Chain A
Amino acid sequence: MGQITLKQVTKSFGNVEVIPSLDLEIGDGEFTVFVGPSGCGKSTLLRLIAGLEDISSGQILIDGQDATSVPPAKRGLAMVFQSYALYPHMSVRKNIAFPLRMAKLHKAEQDRRVEQAAAVLNLTDYLDRRPGQLSGGQRQRVAIGRAIVREPSAFLFDEPLSNLDAALRVGMRLEISELHERLKTTMIYVTHDQVEAMTMADKIVVLRAGNIEQVGSPLELYKNPRNQFVAGFIGSPKMNFIQGEEAAKYGAHTIGIRPEHIAVSETDGTWSGIVSVSEHLGSDTFFHIHDTGLADTITVRAGGEIGFRHGDRIHMTPREDVIHKFNENGLRFT
């Protein structure tokens, strides 16, 4: 079981309110991602759930039990830290066994569980090394191994991939997703990278300045962002926002259109502009277009073979059915 409920949780550091009153329900077995720009309070929220910080007011329930004043060790949660936080003076084996040793499990049972976790994470050959002798990806696996062996009711991940290089990050992302499929344990994952959020989450919680902006599945957020902030944060490249006359045509203060929802042509279209930079990725091409009279830059995503160059005039046609309309307060309406 691993159901976590936050009721009117607030957190202040001195006079600074980091999290104003917040309610959240995380279902058993769910992979929930907290995402938001740096300083949005997502890590603090995770640390409150972990018990590493005291909440200023409100209640945290784990499986229906009030855990507000339960120390971290007794909450039955496991955490993977950004820096991995491996014990540098212990071998990999001892690192992974540490929580079991703290739980005073039998030596034989400890060994069995460590071997099992090591097999799952491809660490069997490294069990007798020290963390200092491992690569970044291997350290990450050890940290995960240390979390798995406890069989916690939920895993907490605090930006676990941010110290890895790009290629490794993609690999680990898959491994963590697979792990979740196999264990079916609740996972709460903090990241500032919306790609990680979109690819891994069952449920995304978008945070800004300690407030929940929106909660929903990745596609829900992509299709129906509640406001301009979520619309801009989810999706890559970012949604284009257009204000003024063009928006007024739709009866909105601001309209938003995703780069992938704009068709381009050499000859005709609703809008036009001059290509400033074109980025060829092979599979796709991103055009950054200036002098459109709509916004500073309009970004368009087109097929890989389309070959506009710097300085070319380009014509664009947005897909009318996926134009998002926002009012003066940034809220989306239909």
Chain B
Amino acid sequence: MARAVTTNRKMINTAVAWLIGLLIFFPILWTILTSFKTEAQAIADPPIFLFFDWTLENYSVVQERSDYMRFLWNSIFLAGGSTILGLIIAVPAAWSMAFVPSKRTKDILLWMLSTKMLPAVGVLYPIYLLFIQLGLLDSRIGLTIVLMLINLPIIVWMLYTYFKEIPGEILEAARMDGAGLKEELLYILTPMAIPGIASTMLLNFILAWNEAFWTLNLTAVNAAPLTAFIASYSSPEGLFFAKLSAASTMAIAPILILGWFSQKQLVRGLTFGAVK
């Protein structure tokens, strides 16, 4: 039972927590605010916090100059594609590990986890070489597959922990009621697993969206997503804070919104079910 606290105590808690929360959030807030300033106001000394001339100019400049939409579309394609592909492969695997466990299930799960820990840089050149050989360099398909593979262990694990929570007796009941494997999947398992599948999708979409090793190293122009779009701003060119902010805001806004929905799943997904 939570204990009642004095209002005073609660007020202090609130003040301290909000102060720290805003401090941590400040870089994001500042980026968003700056994106609406003119370049001159963006570097004004002292900095202007709210009372500047709000403008959308930076957004149109960024879009014109670097074709934001193409990068955005690539990000959506890569994150979405790799998540869906991953789910198609992971759902049956996680299903069978959760409901028909064998002596080796645990070893297989841990082994899958271990592939996630392989340092990417250790296999960078072989993948690079294979991509050249297969003509996949700077292609969306190739990168989708790579992103799917690096997130597959997390997808399998998350689904596994969710499926584990569905009581086995319910599936047995379905079997007794005359449901075959197909009906079992279609009418019982899928509807019950949808919340878990949805959060798995969400988290993996975010992880794929933000992935910044393979997306930077295996793309040039055609397949480059927003991570590369932003990286192209790394060499400063005159006054560019406002434009950088606009570009950054556009790159993170979609995922910030999605991310807020997935806080709880984040813990489970990133700790492989070790903390719930």
Contact = CB atoms under 8 A, between A and B. Distances in A.
Q: Are any A and B Cβ atoms less than 8 Å apart in their complex?
A: yes
Interface string B185-205: 001100110000000000000
Nearest to A152: B176
A77 B177 contact: no
Interface residues of B, number: 17
Contact of A85 (B169, B180, B191): B169
A99 interface: yes
B176 A78 contact: yes
B177 A83 contact: no
B175 A72 contact: yes
A134 to B, nearest CB: 16
A215 interface: no
Contact of A98 (B167, B187, B192): B187
Contacts of A138: none
Contacts of B175: 52, 71-73
Interface in B218-268: none
Contacts of A182: none
Contact of B169 (A71, A73, A83, A98): A83
Contact of B176 (A72, A82, A83, A103): A72
Nearest to B175: A72
B167 A83 contact: yes
A315 B187 CA distance: 67
B167 A73 contact: no
B178 A52 contact: no
B192 A146 contact: no
B256 to A, nearest CB: 31
B180 A73 contact: yes
A98 B172 CA distance: 13
B190 to A, nearest CB: 10
A73 B173 contact: no
A150 interface: yes
A150 B177 contact: yes
Interface string B150-194: 000000000000000001011011111111100100011001100
A79 B176 contact: yes
Residue among A71, A78, A89 having the largest count of chain B Cβ atoms under 10 Å: A89
Interface residues of A, number: 24
A81 interface: yes
A87 B170 contact: yes
Nearest to B179: A102
B103 to A, nearest CB: 9
Contacts of B167: 83, 85
Contacts of B173: 79, 81, 85-87, 146
Nearest to B170: A85
A99 B177 contact: yes
A254 to B, nearest CB: 41
A311 interface: no
Contacts of B178: 73-74, 99, 102-103, 150
Contacts of B180: 73
Given A88-B192, A89-B191, A98-B187, A81 B177 contact: no
Contacts of B188: 87
B191 to A, nearest CB: 4
A178 B170 CA distance: 26
Contact of A82 (B169, B179, B187): B169
Given A73-B178, A77-B176, 16 more contacts: A50-B176, A72-B176, A73-B175, A73-B180, A74-B178, A78-B177, A82-B169, A83-B169, A87-B173, A98-B174, A98-B177, A98-B187, A99-B178, A102-B177, A150-B177, A150-B178
Interface of A: 50, 52, 71-74, 77-79, 81-83, 85-89, 98-99, 101-103, 146, 150
Nearest 4 Cβ contacts at the A-B interface = A102-B178, A99-B177, A85-B173, A85-B169
12 contacts: A50-B176, A72-B172, A73-B175, A77-B176, A78-B176, A78-B177, A85-B169, A85-B170, A85-B173, A86-B173, A98-B177, A102-B178
